[in-house]
Homo-oligomer: A and B are copies of this chain.
Amino acid sequence: MTTNLFSHCDILDTEQFSRDDLELILDYSHRIHKSDRSSLSKLLDKYILASLFFEASTRTRLSFETAMHRLGGKVITTVGFQFSSINKGESLYDTMKMIEAYADIVVIRHPTEGSSHLAADASSIPLINAGDGVAQHPTQALLDLYTIFAEKSNIEGLRIAFVGDLKYGRTIHSLIQLLCHYKVELVLISPADLSLPEQYLKNIRESELNFIESEDLKDILDCDVVYVTRIQEERFTHRSDYERLKDSYTLNRDFLQLSPKLNELLIMHPLPRVKELSTDLDDLPNAAYFRMAHYGVSVRMALLLLCLQVSLP
């Protein structure tokens, strides 16, 4: 056990990380991912995780709870509007003062933007933001980053495409912010209506990354990684635009046959997918989207350890 193993108590947003932080998280995640499970199974056996999901997100909740169980920790859970006291008017501040009496670390998902910062201010125990409104979902971005690292052995020098709704896609914004710490090339593919907002383009330019913007899915074909997201009908001003475009951003095996890197192009997706990623890709060795759930557990184990300042053996 070390003090000051990690310079953060809380995981609140992607802006908080330095390149050194990211390297430490990737290193921990990777050592955990390659470990024999039994070597880690007692590390947090004196700790309790409060898993507070004010809105349902089963994928994320079960990922954190699995991570805690694999480290030998205990879990207390609440989902949705079970918080009767909040219905009686209790503030999030008061709720967190209660939780810090029960748990050693807390994971919080909340529909309101900024609530994780408010909760962290109230609480004397480490807090991990598992998504607050449209704002931030930093552990998703870290698992995306670790997926690239684990599958490609390195991040530097890769050409990485983002496809879909770049305007509203929270996971895309967060991952791009992390990638700004690396020398990568970005290929940003979306309908014009859903292109990447200026604030993120500014980040990319300031980080001196090469990038192109495109509306043509074919621009993924010379990339090393493609990160696909859903395009939701309700995001379009005109339904006719949605109808015209929806199939242009559907990735399937026929399309990928065009690529000289068919078996090298790493295919990622934050899931759930609907139609934008054909099931005929599922058997490709480079289809990484199901493996991301495995990487996610390793990353969250790393974050639980680091926030609690417990080092790996």
Contact = CB atoms under 8 A, between A and B. Distances in A.
Given A38-B46, A293-B102, A294-B101, A94 B272 contact: yes
B290 A90 contact: no
Nearest to A98: B293
A123 to B, nearest CB: 11
A207 interface: no
A66 B48 contact: yes
A99 B86 CA distance: 30
Interface string A34-53: 00011001000110101000
Chain A residues touching B, range: 35 or more
A145 B273 CA distance: 43
Determine chain A's interface SS by DSSP, over half rule: helix
B79 A56 contact: no
Given A46-B41, A80-B82, A101-B293, A94 B271 contact: yes
26 contacts: A38-B46, A41-B45, A48-B66, A48-B69, A57-B84, A58-B83, A58-B84, A58-B85, A59-B85, A62-B78, A63-B102, A65-B76, A69-B74, A69-B76, A79-B82, A80-B82, A85-B272, A88-B272, A88-B274, A94-B273, A94-B290, A97-B290, A97-B293, A98-B271, A101-B290, A101-B291
Shortest beta-carbon contacts, A-B, top 6 = A101-B293, A90-B272, A69-B74, A85-B272, A66-B102, A97-B290
